Amino acid sequence: MNIGSKIAWDDTVLPFQLDRTDTRGRVARLDGVLQQVLAQHDYPPAIEALIAEAALLTALIGQTIKLRWKLSLQVRGDGPARLIATDYYGPSEEGAPARIRAYASFDEERIDPDADPFAQIGNGYFAILIDQGQGMTPYQGITPIAGGSLAACAETYFAQSEQLPTRFALSFGQSQAPGEALQWRAGGMMLQQMPEASPFATGGGSGDGGLLLAGDILEGDAAEDWNHVNVLLDTAEEIELIGPSVQPTDLLVRLFHEEGPRVFDTQPVEFGCTCSADRVRESLSIYSAKDIAFMTTDEGIVTADCQFCSAHYEFDPKTLGFEAEYDA
């Protein structure tokens, strides 16, 4: 594989479907995007790993949303990793790249460097939010933290909230090419079974705490097809998922050549933050004059930092909509 092919597949999401099993899916590769996301902060390795997994899930899930829509993934817990938040912005126009950003809130003193990153979350919830734009009510779906990974949480979310059997196979970590610096890279595949008539599962499921799993939803031929493609996906090696030496199309042919794989246009993704002085000023408008006075520094300015890209903003309090004198 030449270097041009390697670069062509970096930071892309490739949609596909398997015509003989009513299965659809996506293959994602994140390289420069992930590096830029993590370069905005100095996170401990465990937090970087959680962000890498969350960003990869966000790229795979977000590819289905429409132009100018926003999909957010949030993981909140009572452990040292208090919050993992990612945003995926649909392309502004056909052919344009989608944008991803992410950040984490954590208690550094409680982080255990030897523990599994997922264990740093503790008890909490996994949420997906979709914002369709101004004037539309955002959609939100929530599932408990369970299953041993963020990928497992996402699979439970789709089974529980969407009644849609879903499987993720993810690989992420730090690697180093000869003569290059150590950097993060991530790659993975998402499968979803699309039965002709999805039965609505009732009662408790077979997952942790009675949560629904794919096996609780499918039956008959659809269940057989789903089990079959999952067995095939289990043969994918981590190096094949993450690349860069294996093209996504070659991986699909190796895994699913008998299932009729058909690919569609790739979606490029890039790091992108939507913060601006106007947006920050708007977010500050919810505070009272007394709150603004409390935020004002001894130098007479109000400061704000973007949690996603670390951009720093400074405002004259008088430009924030409060002309009256502040109460003591």
Task: Concatenate the DSSP letters of all residues of 189-224 into one string.
Answer: EEEEE--SS-----S--SSGGG---GGGT--HHHHH
**Shared domain check, 286 and 217:** no
Query: Are residues 157 and 66 part of one domain?
Result: yes
129 and 152 in contact (C-beta within 8 Å)? no
C-beta separation of 309 from 101 below 8 A: yes
Report the C-alpha gap between 84 and 87 in whole angstroms: 11
Residue 325 lies in a domain: no
Angstrom distance (rounded) from CA 6 to CA 9: 6
Residue with token string 């609505």: 200
Mean pLDDT over each residue of the chain, to the nearest integer: 86
Task: Count structural domains, the chain.
Answer: 2
What pLDDT, on a 0 to 100 scale, did the predictor assign at position 209? 65
pLDDT, tens only, 180-224? 777 899 999 999 998 654 444 445 566 676 666 666 777 788 889
The H or E element containing residue 166 is strand 166-175
Region of residue 269 (left: phi > 0; alpha: psi -120 to 50; beta: else): beta
Its sign, for the CA torsion 56, 62, 68, 69, is: negative
pLDDT value, residue 313: 78
Distance of alpha carbon 280 from alpha carbon 305, whole angstroms: 9
Question: Each residue of 230-288: pLDDT tens digit?
Answer: 999 999 999 999 977 899 999 999 999 999 999 999 999 999 888 777 877 777 777 77
Confidence label for 4 from pLDDT (cuts 50, 70 and 90): very low
Is residue 328 over pLDDT 50?
no
- Is residue 328 one of the residues assigned to a domain? no
Range of the domain at 170: 3-271
Asked whether residue 116 falls in the same domain as residue 133, the answer is yes
Q: Are residues 261 and 189 in the same domain?
A: yes
If asked whether residues 242 and 289 sit together in one domain, one would say no
Q: What is the pLDDT of residues 50-94, one digit of tens each?
A: 999 999 999 999 988 887 899 999 999 999 999 999 999 999 898
What pTM, to 2 d.p., does this model score?
0.84
Residues 267, 282: one domain?
Answer: no
Q: 77 phi and psi, to 5 degrees? A: -145, 170
Omega before residue 15 within 30° of 0, cis: no
Query: Are 245 and 314 in a shared domain?
Result: no
Lowest pLDDT segment from 45-49, 153-157, 310-314 = 310-314
Say yes or no: 172 and 297 in one domain: no
